[in-house]
Every structure is written in structure tokens, then in C-alpha cells.
Amino acid sequence: MRVAIPKEIHPGERRVVATPQTVLRLRKLGFEVAVQSGAGAETGFADAQYIEAGAIIVSDVRALWSGAGVVLKVRPPEHNPALDIHEADLIDAGAVLISFLWPAQNPELLSRLAARRVTALAMDCVPRITRAQKMDALSAMANIAGYRAVVEAASHFPRFFAGQTTAAGKIDPAKVLVIGAGVAGLAAIGAARSLGAIVRAFDTRHATRDQVRSMGAEFLELDLKEEGEGHGGYGREMSAAFIAAEMALFAKQAMDVDIIITTALIPGKKAPQLITAGMVESMKPGSVIVDLAAEQGGNCALTRPGEVVVHKGVAIIGHTDLPSRMASQASQLYGGTVVALLEELWRDGAIRVEMDNPAVRGALVAHDGQITWPPPTPPPPPEPGVAATAPKPEPPAALIKKPTRDRTFLWLALAGGALAGVGLVAPPSFLGHFTVFILACFVGWQVVWNVTPALHTPLMSVTNAVSGIILIGGMLHLSHRPSTATVLGALAVLLATINIAGGFLVTNRMLAMFRRK
């Protein structure tokens, strides 16, 4: 099956959907890869590099699209002025299209694709679930945009980011406010902190508080207790009282900070306006605002998409192509997510759309002549530590046996009688050990059972503690003469030692995931 890689025709778009490295991955899957001549020129990839990776270079645009079973793009299909035809009309009927599509903003494009019976998968609709992390193109591009936002701010900011004390005088560090602590916001925080700035961040989602603080930034909070967590990890619209409180907070911060980076977006809606003209005018001359939501209208009232505006000494950056300004890195990351999605579709030498695959179903926007967006709402995830179980059918009322108080007393009486019998015939030393054994079983069961499964490290600690007790008991038996008990004690020491050592290794590897390199 042929995979077509056309050159992006959107003005200012420098990314390409496949690099020579991703072409190698596509070839390994069994695809024939055709790349339009000059597709990677803006990214720094020459046609010769694609040929060396095993791709075919095609100069004729119509010949490239014709016969392709899969078409990979960055931007949604649009009108090609050179050919005077829409790119969606170049796709063969029944072919697969994978690109950013933004279905909420492009209903006409969905209808056009469905009419041609194109199977369209939107990279911007890949659900943010564990299984689909390797296909999360939005997070990959947001990471680049957040980093690049700080670089753009630094290029317009007339002072240092880091504070300095020199013989000529003292320089205060720059103060940066990041609004929105998603992927882009956290990337901006990390970049600004690495340059030495004092960073503050605000987000309506309380779950981001610890993430912001772990990166060395100050998390700004409101007195109002309202959760802003929306579907898919995005924010949701807040109440009028909350919006009024956060606008007052932004107005106060605007007079103090030097740089504001806004990332607030709600999928499928116009970007919320968070920075008013009055706030801009209250900022110090030389200050900078970077609006990452410029393409959706902007978070600042004075933002002009695609332009840099200077209003009373404050630079307002409204670039809509921040990932494209790091085209080589962005193309590599984006191409990797696209190949990961193709790997989910490629089964037994053919493209198979499995509706029960949540990653594929979430990204699928058109299939078999039908518009399949939006996907069905998935059930909410279970709470941490609570196993998701299907409800069991209730038996008929006549078959339900309700425990009676008499039966409970009967079991207690039998257990008490058994213990009394053991106490009458067993030696005193056995009775003491038996009591300790019963208490240890009960306490140990309570401790281990009540540990939340999501907290693996505490559970590992409890396991190590139990193994330590076994280790001590086994060592006591090693002091006896050779016997069956001595052999069992040695075996217990060996197994407990392996368990303890493995527990520490696993715990250290888990903790290393959260350490900054």
C-alpha cells in the first residue's frame, strides 16, 4: 500500500508530516512511501535524504495523490491555488487521511471527506488516555509551542531574564506569569525557570498545583473553590463569580510582571479573553505578552493573529506558527505520533478500523461515507484504587438469603469454643505464639488490603516489611542443627532477600521517573 506525503501549502507552514527517520519506520511496516518533491525543503530535509531512506520522490501533485491508499498531512486539506482544486478532491475514494482536521471548526471539510467515502482520522482528536500517549500530537506540538513562546518573549524583552549583581549595579530577575498550566504552560514554565526568571502560574484545574510547584514556580490560587477540570484533560468554562475573581487577579499581576504567556483554550470554542486592553496599558513599558491562543481569537483583547503588535510600549506576540518555527523538531515528533497511529490501524497487511479501539475511535471523524464525529462519550474512569467491575445481575428476591443475627452469634460461639479447646489442650508457649500469629494475620491483612493500588511504592514498602520478618525468622532457624527446619529457613532467607532487593530496585526506578535529570 502506498503512503503519500504531500508538501504543505498553507502559508507559513514549514513542517512536513514525515522525516527520513519516520520514512524508515513506514517502510519497516511494509508501506511504499511517496514524497512530493521539496516537501521537506523548509524543514531542512533534502529529497536525497528521503531517497536514501527508501522513499519515492514524485514531482506531479496529482500523480502523488492518485492511487495512494494513505495520505499523511500536517494541516487540514485546503484549496490548492496552483491547481485550482481542493486537496480533499484529490484523495481517492476509500483512501485513509491522517492529519490535523479540527472537526468542530471545519464541518464543510468533514462533509466533503464523507462524500468521497474517505476514512479520516484527526490527530487533534486523539483521546488523552494512557493507550494513546504515543499518538498525542497535540501534546507534542504544545510542548514545542510553550518552549518557543519563551524564546519569542526573550527576543522582544529588552532586559535579562536572570537577576545579576555586578559592580555596575543590581539587575532584578524578570517576572513571568503563565496562564494555563497544561502541556504548553508547563513547557513555558520550565524554559522561563531555566533562564532564571521568577515564574508564577495560574490554572483553573487544581490538579496542576503540584506540577507547577515541582517546577519551581509559584501557583496563584483564588479563594473560590471551583474545579476547572474538563473532558480530556482540558479546562472547562467557569462560573461568572470565578471569572470575575480571576480577572481581578490578572489585573493585579499585570501591573507587577514583565512577561505574560497565555495558553487558555477550550476545544471547539473561541479562546476566552483574559487580558483586557486596560491590563495591557497597566503593564510596564518593554513588557511582553505571548498569546498561544492567537489562532482561536486570542486570550488578549489586542492580539492580532499572525502579527506582533506594540501597544504603548508593550509587545503582543500573536504568532500562530510557533511549532513551525522549530520545524525540524516538530516534524520529527509529529511524524512519530502519526506512525504510532498507523501502527494501530495496520493489521495483517491491511488498514483495519477497529471501532472497539478507543484511540482509533476517538480520532475517527469520517468513515464509510458517514461523519463519525463526535465519538461516543466514554464512561468516566474509576477512582484510584477502585476496581472497575460490571454490575452483577441481582438474583430474584426469593433466592436472596439474608444473614440472621442468630447465625452470626452461632459462628462467633463456634470460633470461641474452638479457641477455648485449643487453650485447654495446647501448652502455654503454643497459646502465646498462636495469639501473636492471629493478631499478625489480622493486622497485616488490614494494612495491605487498605493500601490504594495506585500507590505502588507504599505497597512495595509493606511487602518489604513482611519479607523482613520472614528473613529474621529464617535466620533464627539457621542457628539450629541441620534438619528440615534449617533447610526451609535457608530457603526462606534466600527468597526474602531476593524479594527485598527487587522491591528496592523497583521503587528506585519508579521514583527516578519523577526526578529532574
Tell me which residues are annotated as active site.
128, 133, 136, 139, 234
Where would I find the H helices in 176-239? 183-194, 209-214
Distance CA(157)–CA(149), nearest Å, equals: 12
**First vs last Cα of the chain: how many Å apart?**
42
Whole-Å CA distances, 178 to 38, 182, 193, 253: 38, 10, 11, 11
Cis peptide before 374 (omega within 30 of 0): yes
Distance CA(515)–CA(517), nearest Å, equals: 6
Whole-Å CA distances, 122 to 64, 110, 367, 374: 21, 11, 12, 11
Q: Is the Cα torsion angle 494, 497, 499, 502 positive or negative in sign?
A: negative
Q: Centre a 10 Å sphere on the Cβ of residue 383 and count the other Cβ atoms it contains.
A: 10
Distance CA(137)–CA(160), nearest Å, equals: 33
Distance CA(343)–CA(296), nearest Å, equals: 31
Between helix 327-345 and helix 20-29 the angle, nearest 10°, is 10
Q: Which uninterrupted H or E stretch holds 320?
A: none
Query: Which of 155, 145, 226 has the alpha carbon at shortest distance from 195?
Result: 155
